[in-house]
Amino acid sequence: MRQSLLRWLACFSVTLSACTSVPRAPDSAFELQAAYDERVRGIATWVQWGFRGRLSMDDGEDGGSGRLHWQTEGESSQLDFRGTLGKGAWRLSLAPGSAELTRSDGSQLTGASVQALLRSEWGWEVPVEDLVYWVRGLRAPGPVEGIDFDDAGRITRLSQSGWNIEFERYRDVSGRQLPGKIKAVSGQLTIKLVPARWTVPLTGEGHA
């Protein structure tokens, strides 16, 4: 009787140990989401930020690349491009409810929607308002079809607004992790952004 009881206790102990060693995926996902949320609190509230880097766009038939200087202050942004992207050099100025494209010859094109403006100029749907978030390694407001994080809670892949975005080469910038390369694909159009020199608030400064 005593031997039977001991065998039963041993089996119960093994079973309990096996149960408690099963990975707890929901907790892991929760921790990654919490790490991402912490990044959002430190980055999404920046009032002034910008970078210098490279931009390329390609739809399989036409495209180009060049240098981009992106500056954001509050809800307004200015993007200055120099290179071989269809129309050559241009400046894109964005403010709530308005967008203005200045061509290399000084002529201007304005519109209430930046997407509509760029579609009429280039024939491409360029999600600039979402790129404001994506370029900083954040998901944009609105529904998300899919999202993957690395072990530090940084986005590596994102599906949103009909685009599939890959984030690579994160690096420390003034105490915050920012992607060094973003690749966004929708249909035949591929957009690549490679931020090189960031201008951002110091940790704890420059927030709304």
pLDDT at 146 over 90: yes
pLDDT value of position 201:
81
Which pLDDT does position 121 carry in this prediction? 80
d(CA 101, CA 92): 5
Q: Within 10 A of 160 (CB to CB), how many other CB atoms are there?
A: 21
Residues β-bridged to residue 141: none
Beta bridge partners of 64: 57
Which residues lie across from 133 on neighbouring strands?
none
Helix (H, G, I), strand (E, B) or coil at 55: strand
* Start-to-end Cα distance in the chain: 73
Residue 138 has pLDDT above 90, yes or no: yes
Average pLDDT over residues 105-113: 86
Domains recognised in the chain with CATH numbers: 27-199 (2.50.20.10)
Report pLDDT for 87.
Answer: 62
- The set of residues, in sequence order, having a beta carbon less than 8 Å from that of 147 and lying 6+ positions away, is 139, 155, 157, 158, 159
